[in-house]
Amino acid sequence: MTIFVGDEQYECRAGDFVLGPRGVPHTFLVRSDIAEMLVSFSPAGIDRFFAEVAPAVVAGEAPPAPPMPDQDEFIRLMAKYECEFVGPPPTLDSSISLLDIDQASERTQP
């Protein structure tokens, strides 16, 4: 898994830790068929966003297929939880920094 935080890029393996602080653009890219990660939020609150946009996983049952949300609705829900969509998701051949995307977004907003 590759994790992007600001203009940094981390190639992570099992046991690695990366901090994505509030106010700094951050995202991740799964580079394998299967990935698991533990995410912690402080203060709490953003967990309600994930509960609203993703189906629940029930112990003992196969996980549901992840939905493909409508982008406008997804961005609206992010704003509800004080998150901002700042650019396209990274790809395997991404070389642009999230800070570059965030700064370009700020320049185009009135």
Read off the tokens for 102. 């965030």
Identify the pLDDT of residue 52. Answer: 87
Identify the pLDDT of residue 106. Answer: 47
Identify the pLDDT of residue 94. Answer: 57
Q: For residues 54 and 30, is the Cβ–Cβ distance under 8 A?
A: no
Count CB neighbours of 3 within 10 A.
Answer: 20
What Rg value do the Cα atoms of the chain yield, rounded? 15
Beta-bridged to residue 105, according to DSSP, are none
Q: Please give the model's pTM, rounded to 2 decimal places.
A: 0.67
Identify the pLDDT of residue 34. Answer: 87
With a cut of 50, which residues of the chain have pLDDT below it? 97-99, 101-110
